[in-house]
Amino acid sequence: MDFLNIFGNAVGEIVSPTTAAYALASLGLAVHFGFTGLLNFGQAGFMAIGAYGFAIPTLLWDVPFVVGVLIAVVGSVIFALLLGIPTLRLRADYLAIVTIAAAEIIRYVVTTNELTEITGSANGLAAFEGGFYAMNPFPQGTYNFGLTSMNERDIWIRVVAWTLVALCCLLVFLLMRSPWGRILKGIREDENAVRSLGKNVYSYKMQSLIFGGLLGTFAGMIFTLPRGAVQPANYQTELTFFLWTCLLLGGMATVLGPVVGAMIFWVVLSLTQGLLYGAIEAGYITFLTTTQAGQLRYILVGVALMLLMIFRPQGVMGNKKELVFA
């Protein structure tokens, strides 16, 4: 077994664009659930809107990169409004079911064969990332970083992704310290108390839903850009549940928790995969196939989610006093 390579890959996951996308989308969930108390189980839908909202106009009308991003942002806001209007007045579990249903509706719609011309149905779309890489300031070549080496595209997407994560973390941090953030936390603790202070709870919940959804939308774009392809199968409900695992790992009412959670999530996934595959190839483990080893990791994710929720609901970084549920 090549331990150095396995550890190198695992360390590389810390800064990978996928980790950044998970961190950003989980940060959106932190805004929704950790700070406002909204149960959004449709973050995969917001990510899909980011990916498709950007890819479709780019391929269909050949719009510039910035316009593509703007269209995705507008799509995300509309989606959040559509979701929020029927559900934000209702109890938390209704929002959970409606958001999960809405995310699935999006996935069914982009998968249908009727819209193959626009969405590419099950195959998805590809080759829309040119505008993004055309802005790459890094000269072509291979860059070495000790354990791993990257080309100029790898560096560019990582720099952009993590800058975005850092900026969004700062923004969330500042917002949650502001009066606006205090009202959100107030809604989380006692909706009626906030209402009695004359605040429009419905409107604040909607703003929170839109803001967290936007973070998910940006995450969707970061998720697809390095792949150069968007496929509906990536946006199943499992994605949302993995994001929840990241959020709960890190701590739901913290700013850096989702980022740390996403890093732990991917490092552990990469390590277990590397070690299991290595052990299988070296013949140490004979009762598993590599496919089963991949599935075993997701069983562990499910068990981890349960155990976290039972034994350490505040996560790695969280404060137990800030839990939505006492």
Residues of this chain that bind other proteins (CB under 8 A): 39, 85-87, 89-94, 96-98, 100-102, 104-105, 108-109, 111-114, 116, 121-123, 237-238, 241, 244-245, 248, 292, 295-296, 298-299, 301-311, 313, 324-326
Tokens 């579990």 correspond to what residue?
A: 93
Torsion 259-210-302-309 (CA) sign: positive
Torsion 113-119-122-128 (CA) sign: positive
User: Whole-number minimum distance, CB 44 to other proteins, in Å?
Assistant: 13
In the complex with other proteins, the residue whose CB is nearer, 66 or 303, is 303
In the complex with other proteins, the residue whose CB is nearer, 144 or 196, is 196
CA distance 133 to 129: 7
- What are 180's strand-pairing partners? none
Contacts of 177 (CB under 8 A, 6+ apart): none
In the complex with other proteins, the residue whose CB is nearer, 155 or 280, is 280
In the complex with other proteins, the residue whose CB is nearer, 101 or 271, is 101
User: Whole-number minimum distance, CB 47 to other proteins, in Å?
Assistant: 18
User: Whole-number minimum distance, CB 135 to other proteins, in Å?
Assistant: 31
CA distance 83 to 77: 10
Torsion 269-273-279-283 (CA) sign: positive
In the complex with other proteins, the residue whose CB is nearer, 134 or 310, is 310
What are the tokens at 292? 């089963």
Distance of CA 287 to the CA centre of its chain: 34
Give SS3 for 32: helix
In the complex with other proteins, the residue whose CB is nearer, 282 or 309, is 309
In the complex with other proteins, the residue whose CB is nearer, 243 or 263, is 243
User: Whole-number minimum distance, CB 113 to other proteins, in Å?
Assistant: 5
User: Whole-number minimum distance, CB 322 to other proteins, in Å?
Assistant: 14
User: Whole-number minimum distance, CB 42 to other proteins, in Å?
Assistant: 11
Tokens 């199968």 correspond to what residue?
A: 233
User: Whole-number minimum distance, CB 309 to other proteins, in Å?
Assistant: 5
In the complex with other proteins, the residue whose CB is nearer, 96 or 155, is 96
Contact yes or no for 13/270 (Cβ under 8 A): yes
Q: What is the DSSP string of 95-155?
A: HHHHHHHHHHHHHHHHH-GGGHHHH-GGG-EE---HHHHHT--SPSSEEEETTEEEEHHHH
Element (H, E) at 86: helix 65-87
User: Whole-number minimum distance, CB 242 to other proteins, in Å?
Assistant: 9
